[in-house]
Structure 1
Amino acid sequence: MSEELFDAAVGIVRAGKYGFLTTLADGHPHTRLVQTMSVDADATVWIGTSPKSRKALDIALHPEVTYAVEDRVGLSYACLYAAAEIIDDPAELNAKWMREFEMFFPDGPTGGDFILLRLRPTAVEVLDFTREIHPAPFGLVPARAERTA
């Protein structure tokens, strides 16, 4: 069941262009809408941001985050509990760069104001009616899986 839930989470996150990233700072959660850049087969999520952003500063202090995405068409959602890392390797920045980011980061992927956040899920929660992932009581509790390796 664990692998099935991680696979379902990948599908849901890939179907949604945006998700809600929650970080922790000063003992309080901070949630904001962000764009999903890409999702690896193992459910690792990539997000682009500025190193000066609140999310990057929060993650530098507290790397545990949640990332939630809804697929309204697919009648599903996934919440990923992840360890976040700040990636500033030029090769990774260039590989993940999206042309639509030029308006936010005019100096490009290696101009000094662009980094990547890599979210590696340790657990997922999934509710997906199209895949019939809806534990009893019907649809009120998501299925949850912890990463085992």
Structure 2
Amino acid sequence: MTTSTDQNQHIEKLRGLIQDIGCGMLTSVDEDGSLHSRPMDKTSEIESDGTLWFFTNASTHKVFEIEHRQQVNVSFTSSDKQRYVSISGIAELVRDRNKMQELWKPKLKAWFPQGLDESDLALLKIKINRADYWDSQLKFQQQTINL
């Protein structure tokens, strides 16, 4: 059983592992059961409840996939530091304007030229339930965190 203190420590550990990695590979499940991955710019740090956020267009195929199968994986790699993190969780589409304003960063205009005025703009909310990581400082021993 994970206590609140344990969960806070796990989230802090995950934050530290991915804090200097800006982009993750989001993998979702297509309708035929195949896996589909694409790069996603990390919008924020992991929140205290174990949530990770990404901006997206709501009409993309990944959103279609997530609406049918919410289980996703996000992997982060820092090859120069030999650190690898695989996060599993449940994804959902969120259209909360206040949350978008809170999380918006000017660099996102590269993907969303109209900024927060993009008509199709939404957020992917990923509630983390497990993370596996390998870190060169740990001699590549696999570690698992359950939230």
- The TM-score normalised by the length of structure 2 is 0.83
Question: Is 2:21–2:76's contact at 8 Å kept on the other side of the alignment?
Answer: yes
Alpha-carbon offset, residue 101 of structure 1: 2.2
User: C-alpha separation between the residues in 2 aligned to 1:68 and 1:92?
Assistant: 23
Question: Is 2:11–2:46's contact at 8 Å kept on the other side of the alignment?
Answer: no
Q: Which runs of 5+ in 2 are unaligned?
A: none
- Give the 3-state SS of the residue equivalent to 1:38 in structure 2: coil
Alpha-carbon offset, residue 134 of structure 1: 3.6
**Does structure 1 residue 129 correspond to structure 2 residue 126?**
no
Question: Is 1:5–1:143's contact at 8 Å kept on the other side of the alignment?
Answer: no
Percent identity of paired positions between Structure 1 and Structure 2: 19
User: C-alpha separation between the residues in 2 aligned to 1:46 and 1:20?
Assistant: 13
1:35-68 Cα deviation digits (max 9, x unpaired) = 1111224442211110011212211111110000
| Cross-structure match for 2:114 | 107
2:13 pairs, out of 1, 8, 15, with 8
**Does structure 1 residue 32 correspond to structure 2 residue 41?**
no
Number of residue-to-residue matches in the alignment? 140
User: C-alpha separation between the residues in 1 aligned to 2:139 and 2:12?
Assistant: 12
**Does structure 1 residue 119 correspond to structure 2 residue 126?**
yes
| Cross-structure match for 1:146 | 146
User: C-alpha separation between the residues in 1 aligned to 2:90 and 2:99?
Assistant: 18
Alpha-carbon offset, residue 117 of structure 1: 0.8
Alpha-carbon offset, residue 146 of structure 1: 1.6
User: C-alpha separation between the residues in 2 aligned to 1:28 and 1:68?
Assistant: 17
Residue 44 of structure 2 aligns with an amino acid whose one-letter code is S
Q: Closer, same or farther in 2 for the Cα pair 1:133/1:146, shift >3 Å?
A: farther
User: C-alpha separation between the residues in 2 aligned to 1:102 and 1:15?
Assistant: 20
- The TM-score normalised by the length of structure 1 is 0.82
Q: Closer, same or farther in 2 for the Cα pair 1:120/1:75, shift >3 Å?
A: same
**Does structure 1 residue 73 correspond to structure 2 residue 80?**
yes
| Cross-structure match for 1:50 | 57
